[in-house]
Structure 1
């Protein structure tokens, strides 16, 4: 009798085992080209909710590391193409999928954030700035952080990006031991006249003097 119960319990547990579904390929954005702006917004919001919940499947919970990140990037691309003003796909990329304990996957997310930033820097700069911080302090990859920071500092002066975000490159160079390069960049920032706040000017001048600049 006991053996029968054990066999029954085991068989029942096997019957209820499920396997995680892999993330399917994203549809091509061209499929939705004929939709009205309102319909595109509805599709974008639905796709966002579906994607965010994909790791929680009936009977199983996946880790983000089990997701195929190239497909994940395609889904984020699709959502952003349907709703270009949305911040949520960038939040997911930088603060959710970009903070897994896997450097390769983090890099994929932050490269995508950088590419999205370059398409609309004034709207999306904060997500790239966050990626710089995670690359520097989370991934411990100073060179990658510097590469991302240069996308921020390289934007024209008329683009509405705050000074502290533009100056991340300078402080990373200082941390990496490239004091001369940091001083040269900082001197250029001060001479350009783009920094108009007196308190910020004093702070940057003090940093320049600490770096050995004039």
Structure 2
């Protein structure tokens, strides 16, 4: 051991000892400190984050989407969704959409993960994002607009917004799609008590679109008209309900 110390200048030995003591002191001083969550930060621009990945937008999308999923858990603690900054989350959703508007990964996160917040009043940015994505004509993006209707109607309890979204959802309908995007507004109108509007909409859908619908969907609409929208007296007088 003595030979080992003779190989080094005394100043180096003193410096090493000081470093060890400093390390012991810092470990003792910080042992009760915990990492603090600073909430959801503002996102970088899509150009800025893709530049960090040498222009590879897909790699930037995948990396940032994983980071988005992990917000609230990176400090070793689990944060409640109600504590998240949803205005900042909305900006993250928009940035991700600029990087990749075809993927359903971020809409899925927005609808089924961030949409589960304990504070429904926060859902505005989530619904706005799903509303935007749901109007994309590619694939079956309209389903995300349907999820926006659900969040507005059943989570936020905003019937006016739900009706607006349902009308926009109906505009996405194309032959070959399920019929429920057309039916949604009428169902909501019936639920909130506007039976006349619900009836007229259902009848109009049967008149104009029944030929492109599956027979089961037509049967559902007839059953809904006769057994949900109409009263028993009205049902008995309506020709549509003859066999219901």
Length-normalised TM-score, structure 2 = 0.71
SS state at 1:101 partner = coil
1:201 matches 2:201 = no
Residues 24-70 of structure 1: CA deviation (Å, up to 9, x unaligned):
2212224467899x921111110011111121122433222222212
Separation in structure 2 between the aligned mates of residue 193 and residue 126 of structure 1, nearest angstrom: 19
Separation in structure 2 between the aligned mates of residue 57 and residue 34 of structure 1, nearest angstrom: 24
Separation in structure 1 between the aligned mates of residue 204 and residue 154 of structure 2, nearest angstrom: 27
> Which has the larger Rg?
2
1:166 matches 2:182 = yes
Look up the match of 1:87: 104
Separation in structure 1 between the aligned mates of residue 50 and residue 60 of structure 2, nearest angstrom: 12
Alpha carbons 2:134, 2:143 under 8 Å: kept: no
Partner of residue 207 from structure 2, selected from 191, 199, 205: 191
Alpha carbons 2:61, 2:99 under 8 Å: kept: yes
Q: 1:203 to 1:40 in 2, by over 3 A?
A: same
The structure with higher relative contact order (CA 8 Å, sep 6+) is: 1
Alpha carbons 1:23, 1:71 under 8 Å: kept: yes
Deviation at 1:15, TM superposition (A): 4.1
Separation in structure 2 between the aligned mates of residue 137 and residue 156 of structure 1, nearest angstrom: 23
Look up the match of 1:146: 163
Look up the match of 1:3: none
Separation in structure 1 between the aligned mates of residue 201 and residue 56 of structure 2, nearest angstrom: 47
1:133 matches 2:150 = yes
1:118 matches 2:135 = yes
Deviation at 1:75, TM superposition (A): 1.1
Q: 1:65 to 1:206 in 2, by over 3 A?
A: closer
Alpha carbons 2:146, 2:166 under 8 Å: kept: yes
Separation in structure 2 between the aligned mates of residue 192 and residue 34 of structure 1, nearest angstrom: 51
Partner of residue 97 from structure 1, selected from 85, 102, 114: 114
Alpha carbons 1:44, 1:83 under 8 Å: kept: yes
- Flag structure 1 segments of 5+ consecutive residues without an equivalent: 1-10
Q: 1:119 to 1:34 in 2, by over 3 A?
A: farther
Separation in structure 2 between the aligned mates of residue 99 and residue 186 of structure 1, nearest angstrom: 31
1:46 matches 2:63 = yes
Separation in structure 2 between the aligned mates of residue 52 and residue 209 of structure 1, nearest angstrom: 45
Partner of residue 26 from structure 1, selected from 43, 49, 53: 43
Deviation at 1:84, TM superposition (A): 1.4
Separation in structure 2 between the aligned mates of residue 166 and residue 132 of structure 1, nearest angstrom: 13
Partner of residue 65 from structure 1, selected from 77, 82, 98: 82
Separation in structure 2 between the aligned mates of residue 12 and residue 175 of structure 1, nearest angstrom: 61
